[in-house]
Amino acid sequence: MSAHDDDRTAPDSGHDRPNGVSEETVEALGALSKALETTERARGHLYGFHQLTGTADFELDDAVRLLHLAGHHREAEAVRREILGRNVIPGHWTFQIIEAYNATYHRPFVELEQQIVRDLAQGRDHLFEAELKARRRTTGHPAHTPGPKAAGTD
């Protein structure tokens, strides 16, 4: 790769638009990718919900212990019996909600998005974003290269 190759305004070679792929297709694939990214964020919130709920459940151990120490045995036992280890929705702890989301929604979405990218863009991911980057970067600027430099090159 020569220094001049960094000045081109096309995306890096791994993100070149395959022949015959229209602007509309690239835009549609970008929208599909954005929707999948949004579900990744939602999934992250589910994991946050899972971890926060689990932390709260373990913190109840301290509350039960302190209620007992303060002489509030009936209240301590009510917390232990009614809330500690309780399902967050009928029949489910938070890990089961995540498992159901992954199996029912997230995994099928990922698989379909990957299949569509294979079918319509020869498996080349993020064409929309790569073309956006190519249009917005400053040609010749060292921090605006089309892609990462190969190891051992300057």
What would the pLDDT profile of 74-127 be if each residue is shown by its tens digit?
999 999 999 999 999 999 999 999 999 999 999 999 999 999 999 999 899 999
Q: What is the pTM of this model?
A: 0.79
Distance from C-alpha of 31 to C-alpha of 127, rounded to nearest angstrom: 11
**CA 8 – CA 100 distance, rounded (Å):** 46
Which uninterrupted H or E stretch holds 129?
helix 127-136
